[in-house]
Amino acid sequence: RRGSALCLREFRVSSSIKSSGQVSYELRGDVAVMTVSNAPVNALSLAIRQDLVARIKQFEEDEAAKVAVIVGEGKVFIAGADIREFKRPATEPHLPDVIDGIEACTKPVIAAIHGVALGGGLEVALGCHFRVGVKGAKVGLPEVHLGIIPGAGGTQRLPRLAGYEKALEMIPSGAPIGADAAKAAGILDDVSDEADAVAAGLAFARSVIDNGTPLRRCSELVAPAVDAQVFADAKAAVAKRARGQKSPVVCVEAIEVASQTSFADGMAKEREMFMELKNSAQHRALAHAFFADRALGKLPEIEGIAPRTLKSIGVIGGGTMGAGIATGALMNGLSVTLIERDDEALGRAKATIAKNVGGAVKKGKLSAEQEQRIFDKALSLSTDYASLSEVDLVVEAVFEDIDVKKQVFEKLDAVCKEGAVLATNTSYLDVNAIAAVTKRPQDVIGLHFFSPAHIMKLLEVVVADKTAPDVIATGFQLGKIMRKIAVRAGVCDGFIGNRILATYRAAADAIVVDGSTPFEVDDVMLEFGFPMGPYAVADLAGLDIGWATRKRKAPTRDPRERYFTFADRMCEQGWFGQKTSKGYYVYEDGARKGTPNPAVLDILTEERKEKQINAQNLSKEQILDRYMAAMVNEAAKVVEEGIALRPLDVDMTLIYGYGFPRWRGGPMQYADEIGLEKILSNIKAYAEEDGYFWQPAKLLEELVASGRSFADLNAESGNNSAAKK
């Protein structure tokens, strides 16, 4: 009695599996309600898969049950396969077979969706004969973000149900869609008015029974044909955006397979593609990033600690950074009092905020009413510090000079209410020294935003020696409110990100002086997956910034350090990068993408001549190895010193603040993939040429000696759920 195509298909799941009780079975009249229960998100673990098989069999044999409804317990329907299990060899019953079993059922099975049905969760729903959602439910196939493709029929059933265009929109992007859009696309058969998924499922079941609605199996549907060009175009567009990440392109290829073969062959091909990606470094990196994201705020020092009240903030300084911070806070519902020196500066700050907010309205991120509220009510401008007497938190974003900052904090100490959090946005100065000028160092913290602060995701929460735990918790809370990725950092020159940046930039300069060109280095890093190379970034940021830093540090420079002069010579000529139309690249007529500036090569040749350096011809691989070794070595020192609590904190800092490709998982994850032994032996080889720069991190040596990895350190910290069994 099974559908024609399904009759021919082997039901590959052993039907002797017994339920372990994670999927309950309850008869409500003539409807069997199966509830998937695996907190917190009902991931499809082995036990759940086994239970589903057992419950489907029970339903088939239950003469009292005419229809089955599958629902999820708690906040969501099912959030997908259990990502933690991907590290282990796949164990039967495999999800595609479980879902085939659901679809092969001879009586109707309905998925009643609330919260989200994601990945394998939506695939389970696609294996059901009908799908009903409650309002607010979302469905999606986000596997692409984990470096894999939907591997339980999603790439074969979704195009048959919703068409190739919809599948091409949803699967390579991984973006979920709401219930109404899902209904419009034919993915949901109905969006119920019932608030509760069980009620929605029961109501739908009743209509199926009453109307005798025939079973509808996605595998048996035929999607309208499309021109093969659609896939070629999609592949080209997706590959361009993916910048080296494979899964988006494979998603398109898997959907294309659906247009070319039978369902059974398509499923076999999908499985092959899925398994290949599941065993790839890209999947490991993206799964690491998934869990690292969730581990960032899990810190023993703030566990169970409530943040302080956070409704209004003060911002000192209305330059690009201060105005950006104010914009981000205002856009997320906080009240902001912005302090500037005089009315003219306040006017400029207001104009910058208005431009930022206007941009957000144009992009649809903010409504016109919200914009209105910001300028009518939420934003206050003042030249008087006394206006900050009632704010809950102040972020100082003035000129990067320790004496100027100290003066600001003395004033804040005098005017702010008791319990207010006093934060500095410094990117490298000593937060302990700033805290020490106040009578309340426990309330002082670093909140290092990245420019433009209303757009960039990263926020370093810099914990000074005396910072109180609830102040740290408040820093993280501000990050959450402003939708930032907050990373805990300790105090040192440059904290996590800028300190590591300074080291790999120095390595790049050495590579360049020793014989490569800035353009080669940029190309290698672009190929690696960074959105821009370090020299194009320098042009964008302004070469004068690095010049000023070098001058500032000149008196304390260690004479053993190799010092390169080419960048100073460029600045002496007034080449500050994009803003002067010339830097490492030449920017014609205000263009944002430049062409290599050949004069830079002459400056480099001169420097080599002066220093009697014989230009080496480094291969792309050698350039990459050096650059990454410098990054990893400094990162290891940052972890060793406790500036970053765990390797994963470094990884997320580099991903969210410095353009490190997420699909490589950050420098520590990358180092684990390459092998720490290889990285260490490279460092030791480079040290033979420059022993001062290439001093191996002790942590790296220890890990190599004990045969451990950075991932092991993450696991030992106990806070990375990826490592949990």
**Window contacting ligand TC6 (CB under 6 A); options: 76-84, 216-224, 467-475, 597-605:** 76-84
* Cα gap 161→167, rounded to integer Å: 9
* Cα gap 130→201, rounded to integer Å: 10
Residue nearest to ligand TC6 (CB): 119
Nearer to ligand TC6, 54 or 277 (CB): 277
- If one asks whether residue 153 binds ligand TC6 (CB under 6 A), the answer comes out as no
311 — phi, psi (to 5°)?
-120, -35
* Cα gap 149→156, rounded to integer Å: 11
User: What is the nearest approach in angstroms of ligand TC6 to the Cβ of residue 329?
Assistant: 22
The single residue listed with the structure tokens 């069994």 is 725
**Cβ pair 192, 66 in contact under 8 A:** no
- If one asks whether residue 72 binds ligand TC6 (CB under 6 A), the answer comes out as no
- The correct pick among 280, 565, 581, 721 for binding ligand TC6 (CB under 6 A) is 721
User: What is the nearest approach in angstroms of ligand TC6 to the Cβ of residue 142?
Assistant: 4
- The correct pick among 6, 36, 116, 679 for binding ligand TC6 (CB under 6 A) is 116
100 Ramachandran zone, left/alpha/beta (phi>0; psi -120 to 50): alpha
- The correct pick among 32, 33, 71, 95 for binding ligand TC6 (CB under 6 A) is 95
- If one asks whether residue 143 binds ligand TC6 (CB under 6 A), the answer comes out as yes
DSSP 485: E
392: Cβ contacts below 8 Å, ≥ 6 apart: 308, 309, 310, 311, 312, 313, 420, 421
Query: Which run of H or E residues covers position 507?
Result: helix 497-513
Query: Which run of H or E residues covers position 472?
Result: helix 469-481
Structure tokens at 569: 């010579």
Using omega within 30 degrees of 0 as the cis cutoff, is the peptide bond preceding 531 cis? no
- HSE of 642, CA atoms in CB hemisphere, 13 A: 4
52 closest CA partner among 123, 151, 141, 135:
123
- HSE of 518, CA atoms in CB hemisphere, 13 A: 28
* Cα gap 431→464, rounded to integer Å: 6
- If one asks whether residue 82 binds ligand TC6 (CB under 6 A), the answer comes out as yes
- If one asks whether residue 151 binds ligand TC6 (CB under 6 A), the answer comes out as yes
Rounded to whole angstroms, what are the CA distances from 517 to 402, 508, 513, 550, 596? 36, 10, 8, 21, 10
One-letter amino acid for residue 167 of the chain: A
* Cα gap 52→104, rounded to integer Å: 13
- The correct pick among 13, 36, 52, 81 for binding ligand TC6 (CB under 6 A) is 81
- If one asks whether residue 102 binds ligand TC6 (CB under 6 A), the answer comes out as no
User: What is the nearest approach in angstroms of ligand TC6 to the Cβ of residue 298?
Assistant: 7
* Cα gap 339→327, rounded to integer Å: 14
**Cβ pair 544, 576 in contact under 8 A:** yes
If you write DSSP's letter for every residue of 437-466 in order, what string do you get? TSS-GGGEEEEEE-SSTTT--EEEEEE-TT
**Window contacting ligand TC6 (CB under 6 A); options: 72-80, 384-392, 405-413, 584-592:** 72-80
- If one asks whether residue 84 binds ligand TC6 (CB under 6 A), the answer comes out as yes
Give yes or no: 610 in active site.
no
695 closest CA partner among 606, 643, 634:
634
* Helix ranges restricted to H, 91-227: 95-104, 120-127, 154-162, 164-170, 179-184, 197-211
- The correct pick among 93, 120, 172, 546 for binding ligand TC6 (CB under 6 A) is 120
Query: Which run of H or E residues covers position 284?
Result: helix 281-295
The single residue listed with the structure tokens 């020299």 is 535
703 closest CA partner among 669, 673, 665, 676:
676
| Count of residues of this chain found to bind ligand TC6 when the rule CB under 6 A is applied | 25
- If one asks whether residue 171 binds ligand TC6 (CB under 6 A), the answer comes out as no
- The correct pick among 3, 80, 127, 317 for binding ligand TC6 (CB under 6 A) is 80
Centroid of chain to Cα 640:
24
Nearer to ligand TC6, 481 or 674 (CB): 481
- If one asks whether residue 83 binds ligand TC6 (CB under 6 A), the answer comes out as yes
**Window contacting ligand TC6 (CB under 6 A); options: 142-150, 156-164, 505-513, 677-685:** 142-150
**Window contacting ligand TC6 (CB under 6 A); options: 56-64, 140-148, 235-243, 637-645:** 140-148
Nearer to ligand TC6, 274 or 670 (CB): 274
**Window contacting ligand TC6 (CB under 6 A); options: 73-81, 343-351, 620-628, 673-681:** 73-81
If you write DSSP's letter for every residue of 652-682 in order, what string do you get? HHHHHHH---GGGT-HHHHHHHH-HHHHHHH
The single residue listed with the structure tokens 């060793």 is 640
**Window contacting ligand TC6 (CB under 6 A); options: 147-155, 158-166, 196-204, 316-324:** 147-155
User: What is the nearest approach in angstroms of ligand TC6 to the Cβ of residue 84?
Assistant: 5
Count other C-beta atoms under 10 Å from residue 371's C-beta: 17
- If one asks whether residue 286 binds ligand TC6 (CB under 6 A), the answer comes out as no
- If one asks whether residue 101 binds ligand TC6 (CB under 6 A), the answer comes out as no
Given the residues 63, 85, 92, 123, select the one marked as catalytic.
123
Give yes or no: 169 in active site.
no
Count other C-beta atoms under 10 Å from residue 692's C-beta: 11
User: What is the nearest approach in angstroms of ligand TC6 to the Cβ of residue 274?
Assistant: 6
- If one asks whether residue 41 binds ligand TC6 (CB under 6 A), the answer comes out as yes
- If one asks whether residue 423 binds ligand TC6 (CB under 6 A), the answer comes out as no
**Cβ pair 299, 719 in contact under 8 A:** yes
Range 535-574, binding ligand TC6 (CB under 6 A): none
Nearer to ligand TC6, 293 or 641 (CB): 293
Nearer to ligand TC6, 74 or 319 (CB): 74
User: What is the nearest approach in angstroms of ligand TC6 to the Cβ of residue 11?
Assistant: 18
Nearer to ligand TC6, 150 or 577 (CB): 150
Nearer to ligand TC6, 95 or 102 (CB): 95
User: What is the nearest approach in angstroms of ligand TC6 to the Cβ of residue 101?
Assistant: 14
- If one asks whether residue 40 binds ligand TC6 (CB under 6 A), the answer comes out as yes
- The correct pick among 72, 142, 147, 317 for binding ligand TC6 (CB under 6 A) is 142
Given the residues 103, 143, 194, 256, select the one marked as catalytic.
143
Q: What strands, in cross-sheet order, belong to the sheet with 393-396?
A: 379-382, 335-339, 312-316, 393-396, 421-424, 444-449, 458-463, 485-490
Nearer to ligand TC6, 103 or 143 (CB): 143
- If one asks whether residue 182 binds ligand TC6 (CB under 6 A), the answer comes out as no
- The correct pick among 23, 31, 33, 43 for binding ligand TC6 (CB under 6 A) is 43
Nearer to ligand TC6, 80 or 248 (CB): 80
Query: Which run of H or E residues covers position 28?
Result: strand 23-28
Nearer to ligand TC6, 84 or 480 (CB): 84
User: What is the nearest approach in angstroms of ligand TC6 to the Cβ of residue 719?
Assistant: 9
- The correct pick among 76, 491, 654, 723 for binding ligand TC6 (CB under 6 A) is 76
Using omega within 30 degrees of 0 as the cis cutoff, is the peptide bond preceding 555 cis? no
Structure tokens at 572: 């002496």
User: What is the nearest approach in angstroms of ligand TC6 to the Cβ of residue 145?
Assistant: 6
- The correct pick among 13, 79, 99, 200 for binding ligand TC6 (CB under 6 A) is 79
683 closest CA partner among 694, 692, 672, 691:
694
**Window contacting ligand TC6 (CB under 6 A); options: 114-122, 205-213, 305-313, 549-557:** 114-122
User: What is the nearest approach in angstroms of ligand TC6 to the Cβ of residue 277?
Assistant: 10
Range 217-276, binding ligand TC6 (CB under 6 A): 274
Residues acting as catalytic residues: 123, 143
- In the complex, the residues that contact ligand TC6 under the rule CB under 6 A are 40-41, 43, 76, 79-84, 95, 116, 118-120, 142-143, 146, 150-152, 274, 291, 294, 721
